[in-house]
Amino acid sequence: MGLKFSLPTVHHELLEIALLAIELGATELTNRFRQRIQIQSKGLANFVTEADLAAEKVILETLIARLPNHRFLSEESQQTQVVQAEHLWIIDPLDGTSNFMHGIPHFAISIAYYRNQSPELGLVYNPITEDLYLSIAGQGSWYGPRKQYVDTAQNLSESMICCGFYYDRGRMMQTTLETLASFFHQNIHGIRRFGAAALDLCNVGCGQYGVFFEYKLHPWDFAAGMLFVHEAGGRCTDCSGNPLPLLQPSSLCATNGQLHEEALRVIHPHWANLNASAW
């Protein structure tokens, strides 16, 4: 098929189709990236929505044409009643919308394939840097052709922490800030907020962050990245330590595994406090 990606020697029957969808979606995004001057009359939000929809359209068309019996949960055209699907794809055609909007080259397409409610394949691709993060259940996680493993840190004081802020500007934002202060009190190396949850999760899998947390994410934000973390040896739960849901929004805590309990001890009191109040 002549795809341009640099890949490890692995096999999954749907990998090539998924890569083709990613490649076509990526072209829609790169063609529009930093083009807002020419189309300013349409407004910034419309311009981003148009990029988002164009990428989603080509990704879905590519997959549906080849896999007519599969089901799809994609951010812009959400489908209901996909719970029982034997073959389910969960797609974010543009993760990191705000970065895209401001010309910051840190965003990604995220595609996950689930078989009978179990994740099998995850791809996260930044079309600007051409970074491809691939994970296959039971086989591992790769950044380009190189296999990836989580950080070996045993304590928060040896770790870089990453967080996300949901679009909320009220209690949830305030609670996230308070949680960050608590992390700083654990003498961590630092905090980063890069603005694309799918990439944040892959960076946990690659050992850059010991912990990533966010108080609300959607399945399309975390479906592929969660598999990447697991396959790299890490752990992903909600902020109470429960398994992540397949199809509902959730809080999320991803770590290298060793730091999970310590991270939840910092996060959970804030999370419980947030849930106890109306937001």
The residues of the shown chain that bind ligand IPD, judged by CB under 6 A, are: 92, 94-97, 164-166, 195-197, 214, 217, 221
Q: How far is the CB of 264 from ligand IPD (least distance, A)?
A: 20
CB of residue 52 to ligand IPD, shortest distance in Å: 8
Residue linked to tokens 């106890």: 276
Buried b / exposed e along 237-261 (16+ C-beta atoms within 10 A): bbbeeeebebbeebbbbbbbbbbbe
Q: Select the binding partner of residue 33 from Ca ion, ligand IPD, none (C-beta < 5 to 8 A, by kind).
A: none
Q: Which of ligand IPD, Ca ion, none does residue 166 bind to, with CB < 5 to 8 Å depending on kind?
A: ligand IPD
Contacts of 167 (CB under 8 A, 6+ apart): none
Integer CA distances (angstroms), 102 to 43, 48, 164, 173, in order: 13, 10, 17, 21
Nearer to ligand IPD, 95 or 120 (CB): 95
Site for Ca ion in 175-234 (CB under 5 A): 221
Note whether 95 binds Ca ion by CB under 5 A: yes
* DSSP code of residue 208: S
What span, in angstroms and rounded, lies between the C-alpha atoms of 93 and 61? 13
Give the one residue of 23, 92, 200, 214 binding Ca ion; rule: CB under 5 A. 92
Specify the residue for token string 């050992």. 207
CB of 152 to ligand IPD, least distance (A): 26
**What does 205 interact with, of Ca ion, ligand IPD, none (CB < 5 to 8 A by kind)?**
none
CA-to-CA distance for 51 and 99, rounded, in angstroms?
A: 13
124 binds Ca ion (CB under 5 A): no
